[in-house]
Amino acid sequence: MMNFGEIAEFRRSEQATDFAQAWIRAQEAGDLASEWHMNLLGWSSDNPAHVLGIVLNLLDLSAENEAINEMVAIGPAEWLVEHCPDEFVILLREAIRSHPGFALATSWKRAHSEHPRWKALHTT
């Protein structure tokens, strides 16, 4: 499993940046079933570190776009939390502590959801 520093390094890669930009373009075009959307959801259980890196990039790239931020929160961020391996929770906690956009995107679910993963993140 990657550590948070390795996730930060991946975020700076051309692959991660290009993917996030393509996801946003598809979202803005209304293509919610794009390959970008489906791949990001599909990778949550197999490659959660890369998904987290891309989600953080999405939040950074769309910081001024409330509609995109909301879609990231109820889409890939929520899906990642609910479908990542149990041992990944420690990295989700680190993301909540270090990335204000991720903390905000996950705040409502952490406070209100009965899902065990969200409950585990509630005190973060």
Report pLDDT digits (tens) over 69-96: 999 999 999 999 999 999 999 999 999 9
| Domain count along the chain | 1
pLDDT score, position 43:
86
Note if the pTM is more than 0.75: yes
Which of 75, 82, 85 is CA-nearest to residue 36?
Answer: 75
Residue 9 pLDDT = 97
Question: Residue 99 above 70 pLDDT?
Answer: yes
48: confidence class by pLDDT, cuts 50, 70, 90: very high
79 or 41, which is more confident? 79
User: What residues make up the domain containing 77?
Assistant: 4-121
